[in-house]
Amino acid sequence: MSFLTPATQRMAKLTAAGVEPRFLAAIEDAATLGKLQYLIKNCDAAYDFLPSILDDYDFLAGYEVTPVCNGAGDDELYVLLSNAHEHRFVRFELEADEIYHDFGASFQRLLAYILLEYVGFDEQMTIDDHLALAQRFGLPNAQAVYSAYMKLSTYSEVKAWQQHELPQLLEQHHA
């Protein structure tokens, strides 16, 4: 059985799990997001439909589900899954009974994923614009993250880099 974190407790639950308050504030204000609002938005829709379908997804069983934000469409969700033994951030779509991206316990990996997806979305922004946005949302080691990302040329390189090298770049900030 899974359950949905009450909306009134969402912010506290997410910040306790490491979500940047600056990111949460931006999610709630579409004007702050600018064109990024076409990739992510607040999670109001999640609270509208998740209660009625929560038990339909096997991968949610046994977790408290806390919406972080909606993706490009209301059927794409970024959530925190937590129980007594773990917490992890994931991305899934309501159309499929599977997790598309598992970011582990690191909100920073989820944030990097969203911000790097935005690089391909808004090609009018300079790398300096992207860096400023990343720093505004609290992405650690943003310069090194973007520098490494911009050297990748294939989807398979990006996937391998996200899995193996990105976590190390994000952790270097904390070392």
Please report, for the chain, the start and end positions of each structural domain, with discontinuous segments joined by +.
Answer: 3-105, 108-172
Contact 101, 90 (CB under 8 A): yes
Q: Is 18 left (phi over 0), alpha (psi -120 to 50) or beta?
A: left
Residue with tokens 């090298």: 165
pTM for this predicted structure: 0.90
Q: Can you read off the two tokens belonging to residue 165? A: 């090298």
Q: Is 115:37 a contact under the CB 8 Å cutoff?
A: no
Walk along the chain (175 residues) and give the pLDDT tens digit of each residue.
789 999 999 999 999 999 999 999 988 887 878 888 888 988 888 898 888 888 888 898 899 999 999 998 778 899 999 999 999 999 998 887 789 999 999 999 999 999 998 887 777 888 898 899 898 888 988 999 999 998 998 989 998 999 889 988 888 755 4
User: What 8-state DSSP symbol labels residue 6?
Assistant: P
27 burial (CB, 10 Å; 0-12 / 13-18 / 19+) is buried
